[in-house]
Structure 1
């Protein structure tokens, strides 16, 4: 391939996957599709101000990908506004790679635990079909499909979803790995300061290469040669967030700009999105106690059962999942989830003096977003879009591995 490698990003969110591809330097974004408002605003802002896309507002298409024909040809919609469509944005440009992954809640193990019907009736189980329609339409040589580990065991109608995906892509003219377990990675193994298991499916168009043996070599190189090359030293919570300004509890509730604060806002406004959510005095006391328990080495509240019992004692509620967790300074973080927008109980700052959950910027650091990546919208929407994102530095590794394949085989 000559020149930049052109991409389309589906289920783009705020752009964690795309930002990694653009950081790699070999790729050019033609268009992105996302249906939530604040991630679209955030992504368009990033494309314009960081990557120089002056038409970013048109390139980021806010629409429901399930309405595929309208997505291609244009729409005038009460919810999503008016747009000429994806075909108009792409024009006659060659689409080389399609990237993205459908929302993962329907496949996630936690989601299946919380849902009374195990997410079997969730429409998101089949959003890969919409992804496939776009791939079939543009016929790129490659696609990168990202999702959660729960995808490997999901079988909403009794048939494993991985079998459906493999069969559907094969019928559309693409070959993927025979064993999706080979496609499972913990991003912590690649120097990301967070444990996060993700399935990365590389698809290769059959008729773009002479033989199936060549395609099998491409897939083998991706999973067994190029991706492993980037495995590196473990990075910890300390590495990621310890240099950020501390934020301590305030003696009194602070009201400013229509918000109330339990912690004193930092005076250094050069750090974007670095303000914690409001915490009650009760929660602050619990957070401080749990962090002190680890700092002192007492470790009275480090087992799941003791944490569940504490939650019941504090709230009077019973939970099947332990709700409290303090990040460890010298380990990678636990997974940063979209659920973080609902509460921060499982992402408590390790400094007991700060007695709070992590800020949006701290969550972004653990997801390896650059400090100049600005998240727009309400704070809860910012937490959600960060939790839904691919860590941008891991995305950069995927992009570099794919670029190595392209240089070798194309």
Structure 2
């Protein structure tokens, strides 16, 4: 029987996708884990969770055509009369709940009591919101008049883990958060050691061991240090430099003799590997109507080229050539669905099996945000600079003065990488929920496209399968993707957990 998994603070379900995808290695086959509850408070992410739960109601490769028609926008609902019961079941698994609310906690408890038994091992997974721990969040909080860290409940959301662990005793739990957690303080006291102590004794004194997931740390036999809990996604085949604290708690009742920790991949993945073959798009413009994209793009390149002449003649010459060769055909800004996959390049073997689905004959959520024309001039300059120099231009010293934004932080050189190009032949930088606000840190590496990355491109960099659909408006989709755990990494974590439970 599949091992039950409870996913709290689930976001769009990255961790849950990784666990639910793991297949049994014995003759019976089938799923190793079964998500019994996924809880998330944000409505769009909760809707995404339900849709994905519906997809998982069917054996691998047997999802109904109605699901794929829904992805492509050919029908309003993903289910039919024949699969309405599976849709209802998905609604019982994926719950929109705010942990800490007495009513919602009662709903969650009722579900857990109906799904879990004392003599059956189960796994708790999730990632409490990180705004109180992240460096960016702490910087914002410092600017809030009267802010007191001790009064910010977000520092203590992990206590919802403690309550569930104490009451239901999972065999193993996985908790993910930002590396800022390691240095976060409340009233001068570091939070990380306290969280470790609380988790170790969540179901009684020393009831759990906290075991690093990475082989280099977990096999030493020494007491782990804080840095040993950092997992670097790019080391395990993800095309993204994403460093996160991931804690694995194991019941003291379970031996660790068969533990098989994460082992780094010998097949590193790059931006080019996963988004290089997607259909070309272009940004929209927020400051005037586009009657001819060709004319609009030419104007962007010409202004960027003129500005670049004072800083980098090679970049200026490249931009001028781009202005003279803008194609007549307007690629558009994408949308919910783009039909056709004929030009898709081959993905690395492991990721191809993970991301691609032969029934998906197009690209869902492949949509980009619009930008001001002045920002597109900066994007054009930055993308060409990156192509020629192998890195993004840094701050006002390497940006032409006519392209300087009118921000105080720019003049103070506080954000020297304010306009950051994702390089083709390297992992991307860390995907963030900030993608919902602007794309300045995620400029597409192809200077002919004049844009930041799309939702689908972000999803691929996070290793979400192409048949994974994100609900809500574009901004909500970006937030979901940016907050998630890469499912490809999560599947490897699930295998580590299974090595303990076997």
Structure 1 residues 304, 122: CA separation in 2 closer, same or farther (over 3 Å shift)? Answer: farther
Aligned residue runs from structure 1 range 294-373, under 5 A: 294-297=386-389, 302-304=393-395, 306=397, 313-319=404-410, 320-321=414-415, 322-373=417-468
Distance 1:250 1:63 in 2: 36
Contact 1:112–1:119 at 8 Å: present in 2 too? no
Partner of 1:232: 266
SS of match in other structure, 1:271: strand
The alignment status of 1:189 with 2:235, answered yes or no, reads yes
Which of 1 and 2 has greater Rg? Answer: 2
SS of match in other structure, 2:496: helix
For 2:364, which of 245, 267, 272 is the aligned residue?
272
Contact 2:5–2:35 at 8 Å: present in 1 too? yes
The alignment status of 1:97 with 2:119, answered yes or no, reads no
TM-score normalised by length of structure 2: 0.69
Distance 2:178 2:402 in 1: 28
TM superposition shift of 1:95 = 5.4
Distance 1:183 1:238 in 2: 29
TM superposition shift of 1:364 = 0.2
Partner of 2:54: 48
CA root-mean-square deviation: 2.7
TM superposition shift of 1:158 = 2.2
TM superposition shift of 1:138 = 1.2
The alignment status of 1:59 with 2:59, answered yes or no, reads no
Partner of 2:491: 396
Distance 1:237 1:298 in 2: 14
Partner of 2:45: 39
Distance 1:277 1:46 in 2: 25
Q: Deviations over 1:199-254 (max 9, x none)?
A: 11111122x24xxxx45x57xx4xxx5212x5332111000100100013579846
Distance 2:157 2:402 in 1: 36
Distance 1:307 1:42 in 2: 41
For 2:385, which of 293, 296, 303 is the aligned residue?
293
Partner of 1:78: none
In the alignment, structure 1 segments of 5+ residues that lack a partner are 75-82, 256-261
Contact 1:73–1:88 at 8 Å: present in 2 too? no
SS of match in other structure, 2:4: strand
Contact 2:240–2:430 at 8 Å: present in 1 too? yes
SS of match in other structure, 2:246: strand
Aligned residue runs from structure 1 range 371-382, under 5 A: 371-382=466-477
TM-score normalised by length of structure 1: 0.84
In the alignment, structure 2 segments of 5+ residues that lack a partner are 24-31, 59-85, 212-223, 292-329, 340-361
Partner of 1:171: 201
Partner of 2:64: none
Q: Deviations over 1:67-99 (max 9, x none)?
A: 3x533433xxxxxxxx89434652658451000
Distance 2:283 2:246 in 1: 41
Q: Deviations over 1:318-356 (max 9, x none)?
A: 253332101100010000001111111000000111010
